[in-house]
Chains A and B, each alone.
Chain A
Amino acid sequence: MRRTIAILLQNPLSLLGVTLVTIVVLSAIFADFIVPFPDHKGAVVDFANFNKAPEWPYIFGTDLVGRDMFSRIVYAYRISLILGIVVLAIAVPIGVTVGLVAGYLGGWTEYALMRVTDVFLSVPPLVLAMSIMGVLEPTLLNGMMAVTAMWWPWYTRLVYNITRAEKEEGYVLAAEVIGASKLHVIFREILPNCVPAIITKMTLDLGFVIIIASSLSFLGLGVQPPTPDLGSMVADGAKYLPDSWWLTVFPGLAILAAVFGFNLVGDALREILGADQ
């Protein structure tokens, strides 16, 4: 663990990644103390200062009802991160368990589980989430459900492939020979060997969840106003290009910065943990 962190901080690119991730996470947690206008996360109207180009104290400009873009972007980070963490906290255990069981048990269980997984993987991720959001009311909670529903199969496929390779290894055979239960072999013997790959994928996925969630709200199918969200900010601002460029450019770059950070860290982790799946 300590070695991993040390290596992370040595390479300039992964250092940049760690820095970006730290800034995003800390600003999301301490948003109330950092932003100049904490009340602008809600439905506030300030027509005296509407649609202003970046100038002090509005470093990223103001939106069409006079709210500070910088404050809203920081609060949007908080919502994106909560969404990402909740999605992964639900999707990863489900996907990993299905993958372990399918890969280890084989036979009909494997066939049935992997075909169900194929079904989910056969709908473009965004389209599946869109159709779920289509029938549900567009709220933050439903958005999480929609993204979770499309996320677990990717972990199933990842863990399934590892499990199929691992179950031929000597240590699994050894456990089986001394009479370990299937549960023990799956969760105590095989699962620990999947962990590096899972952690690497989770780091990369935090970025991708932000991308998908912002895409949903960009289409008007995700988090609803006045809750700040990077995707819907870009969508609202796009109508006013090129004159009010700050309405789209800053939320867009905010997505890029956060996801880039998670990707840099994920890539570095992949190299360090040797989990090249």
Chain B
Amino acid sequence: MSPVVRLLAHRLGMSLIVLVGVSMLIFAIARIIPGDPARIALGPNATPEQVENLRQALHLDQSIVVQYGFFVADLLRGDLGVSLYTNRPVIADIAQFLPATLELVLAAGIMMIGIGLPLGIISARYRGRWPDNLVRLVSLLGVSAPSFVWAVILMLLFAFFLPIFPIAGRISDIYSIEAVTGFLLIDTLIAGNVAAFGDAAWHIVLPAFALAVSGIGQAARLTRANMVETYDKPYIEMARSYGFPDRRIANRFAFRPSLIPALTIIGLDFAAMLGNAFLVEAVFAWPGLSRYGVAVILRKDLNAIVGTVLIISATFLIMNIIVDLLIAFINPRIRHSQRPA
């Protein structure tokens, strides 16, 4: 276990450095803003005095280094400042909207792995034959459109044309579920309301699939590419000559070593869904971070922009650490190595 612990410590340290860098980057971007954020927040009718007071309250009258210092000090206390858009603490806003987004991203991630990897395995096993060609074509189509296009197409096909799935939202209005975790699929179970759980699950299918389409394509393509390479290795030929069945060769001997390089990229894709979730949420009126994020960006709400991007980046880094640990568990060379990878 010790190499894995060391890997974890190493990755956590690296992520912390990167997160500090991200905070500087985002802070710098937010402060090169043309125009006066205090003036924008107060509107055109504010007196110069009011604007000046807000500028002082926000430390906008000091140098950018001092401003960053204030920002970090607040951040360490868990304070991201007050949103000029909702007049609430940014951290409270994010806590309200983030679970819905995370729920969507996690559901899409499960689809990406649950559908993408098997497609890749099939493709590699039947290399050059029709299942391979079909999977390659479909997965290339999948990565060839932004998720909002898939969202619109899926909605048109499976919510309007064939009214199988609901058009929008997270759950039908008839259910009122007390928010415990913010994850509806968990909260409905806590409440013991199976019907509400089913309803929420039914609502998440289309948005999650729209978000997952390009990830599924990417996962299938990567798995196939890596497996095709593995298939050329001598030990596969040896397994064949021993008479192992094709299915077993594919699922066991060829798939496992191929999974490792694929997982790194799949992890990145998984995390990129956090950004793409904005697009899908907009189409399906999913009450996540999207509407809030776009609204605060359009209103140049500095605290909220910095807070939202920072939280998303932190989530992104955490997801990548989890993927790295997963790889460490799968890969005996890292699991037993003496040096952090």
Contacts and interface: CB of A to CB of B under 8 A. Distances in A.
19 contacts: A118-B14, A119-B18, A122-B313, A123-B312, A124-B276, A124-B316, A130-B297, A134-B297, A211-B145, A214-B146, A215-B276, A218-B148, A234-B148, A234-B149, A241-B160, A249-B156, A252-B145, A255-B145, A260-B141
B176 to A, nearest CB: 28
Nearest to B160: A242
Interface residues of B, number: 51
Interface string B224-241: 010000000000000000
A234 B283 CA distance: 10
Contacts of A120: 25
Contacts of B146: 211-212, 214-215, 218, 231, 255
A30 to B, nearest CB: 24
Contacts of B140: 260, 263-264, 267
A115 B14 CA distance: 9
A220 interface: yes
A124 B283 CA distance: 20
Nearest to A138: B298
Nearest to A124: B275
A260 B275 contact: no
Task: Among A137, A215, A249, A276, find the residue whose CB has the most chain B CB atoms closer than 10 A.
Answer: A215
A130 B17 contact: no
A38 interface: no
Interface string B137-148: 100110111101
Interface string A122-141: 11111110111111110000
B29 interface: yes
Nearest to B273: A124
A248 B312 contact: no
Interface in A189-244: 207, 211-212, 214-215, 218-221, 231, 234-235, 238, 241-242
A127 B279 contact: no
Interface in B10-38: 14, 17-19, 21-22, 25-26, 29-30, 32-34
Given A235-B282, A245-B156, A264-B140, 15 more contacts: A122-B18, A122-B21, A124-B272, A124-B312, A127-B275, A130-B278, A130-B297, A131-B297, A211-B146, A231-B146, A241-B155, A253-B149, A259-B144, A263-B140, A276-B225
Given A123-B22, A134-B305, A260-B140, A242 B161 contact: yes
Contacts of A253: 149
A259 B145 contact: yes
A223 to B, nearest CB: 15
Contacts of A255: 145-146, 149
A242 B157 CA distance: 10
B135 interface: no
Task: Among B25, B144, B146, find the residue whose CB has the most chain A CB atoms closer than 10 A.
Answer: B146
Contact of B152 (A130, A215, A234): A234
Interface in A106-121: 115-116, 118-120
A123 B298 contact: no
SS class of chain B's interface: helix, strand, loop or mixed?
Answer: helix
B254 interface: no
A135 B275 contact: no
A9 interface: no
Interface in B252-280: 271-272, 274-276, 278-279
Interface in B190-224: none
Interface of B: 14, 17-19, 21-22, 25-26, 29-30, 32-34, 137, 140-141, 143-146, 148-149, 152-153, 155-156, 160-161, 225, 271-272, 274-276, 278-279, 282-283, 293-294, 296-298, 300, 305, 309, 312-313, 316-317, 320
Contacts of B22: 119, 122-123
A123 B313 contact: yes
A133 B278 CA distance: 15
SS class of chain A's interface: helix, strand, loop or mixed?
Answer: helix
B294 A207 contact: no
Contacts of B29: 131-132, 135
A249 B153 contact: yes
Nearest to A134: B297
B309 A123 contact: yes
A13 interface: yes
Contacts of B282: 218-219, 235
B160 A123 contact: no
Task: Among B14, B152, B271, find the residue whose CB has the most chain A CB atoms closer than 10 A.
Answer: B152
Nearest to A129: B275
Contact of B144 (A115, A133, A207, A248): A207
Contacts of B32: 135
A185 B160 CA distance: 60
B171 to A, nearest CB: 21
B297 A256 contact: no
A233 to B, nearest CB: 11
Contacts of A256: 141, 144-145, 149
B246 to A, nearest CB: 25
Contacts of B275: 124-127, 130
B214 to A, nearest CB: 9
Contacts of B141: 256, 260
B144 A122 contact: no
Contacts of A276: 225
Contacts of B296: 134
Task: Among A132, A134, A248, find the residue whose CB has the most chain B CB atoms closer than 10 A.
Answer: A134
